[in-house]
Amino acid sequence: MSPPIDELMYWIGQSAVALMAAAGVLEAGRKRYDLFGMVIVALAAALGGGSVRDLLLDRPVFWVIDQTYLIGALLSACATFFLARFVVLPARFFLVADAAGLALFTIIGTKAAMAWGTPWLVASFMGVITGVMGGILRDVLCNEDPLVFKGTLYATAAWAGALILLGLMALDVVGWVAASVAGSTIFLLRMAAIQWEIGLPRFTAKGR
């Protein structure tokens, strides 16, 4: 028997926070920040997207009303910080964790916006914001060009998954099935884009 969709979304949210916090530490690790700096980057990555979404929707910020998200992000950040000292993590681990977090956060953000009564297009965009904004904040704090603005498919994969989720919901597909299909699509699109360097056309101007 599948869990209730609200309970499923809650644990998906906790998993997304932990994954993005770990990815934030691994990204900041290249800058050799101290523990405090790593934690700040991890919190921005893990909580930033959902915070921006909640502020735009004028609803209580998720980790303020339920501090278990904050605790989970802190624990994941610290665990990753110390684990990296003793275990050689694969070079692609950051990208896999980031892709998984992107998928989970996009699903959560889209569902949250729909539950708040937003139109479907707004809900899909809120899903994208939830998925990518934490990564943007992480990259800015690390003094890097945001990953979402260059290179392989990132926000596009999130938006495709959000639209698939909304389409399946409109067809009355069971909640956990719709979330699983849409989340898997985002993750697989992102990993395929990394593997085969699939990206959108870049801006060029004639004569430049």
Residue 106 lies in a domain: yes
Q: State how far the Cα of 25 lies from the Cα of 48, in Å rounded to an integer.
A: 14
Number of compact structural domains in the chain: 1
Domain assignment present for residue 192? The answer is yes
Buried b (16+ CB within 10 A) or exposed e, 111-121: bbbbeeebebe
Q: What angle do CA 135, 115, 172 make, to 5 degrees?
A: 105
137 assigned to some structural domain: yes
- 71 pLDDT exceeds 50? yes
Asked, for residue 154, whether it belongs to a domain, the answer is yes
- Does the residue 28 lie in any domain? yes
Q: Is residue 204 part of a domain?
A: no
Amino acid at 86: F
Predicted confidence (pLDDT) at residue 44 exceeds the cutoff of 90: yes
DSSP state, residue 154: S
Range of the domain at 32: 5-196
Q: Does 201 fall in a domain?
A: no
pLDDT-based confidence at residue 49 (cuts at 50, 70, 90): very high
Distance CA 55, CA 66 (A): 16
Q: What is the pTM of this model?
A: 0.91
Quick one: DSSP state of residue 33?
-
Helices vs strands, H then E, count in the chain: 8, 0
Whether 205 is covered by a domain: the verdict is no
Show the tokens assigned to 137: 């904040």
Share of the chain above pLDDT 90, in %: 69
Q: Are 44 and 63 in contact (CB under 8 A)?
A: no
The answer to whether 45 and 24 have CB atoms below 8 angstroms apart is yes
Locate 154 and state its tokens: 């990132």
Q: What angle do CA 6, 11, 16 make, to 5 degrees?
A: 120
pLDDT score recorded for residue 61? 96
pLDDT surpasses 90 at 173:
yes
Long-range CB pairs of 178-183 (<8 Å, 24+ gap) are 179/5, 179/8, 179/9, 179/12, 179/107, 179/111, 182/106, 182/107, 182/110, 183/12, 183/103, 183/104, 183/106, 183/107
pLDDT at 6 over 80: no
Q: Please tell me the predicted confidence (pLDDT) of residue 2.
A: 43
DSSP 8-state secondary structure symbol assigned to residue 9: H
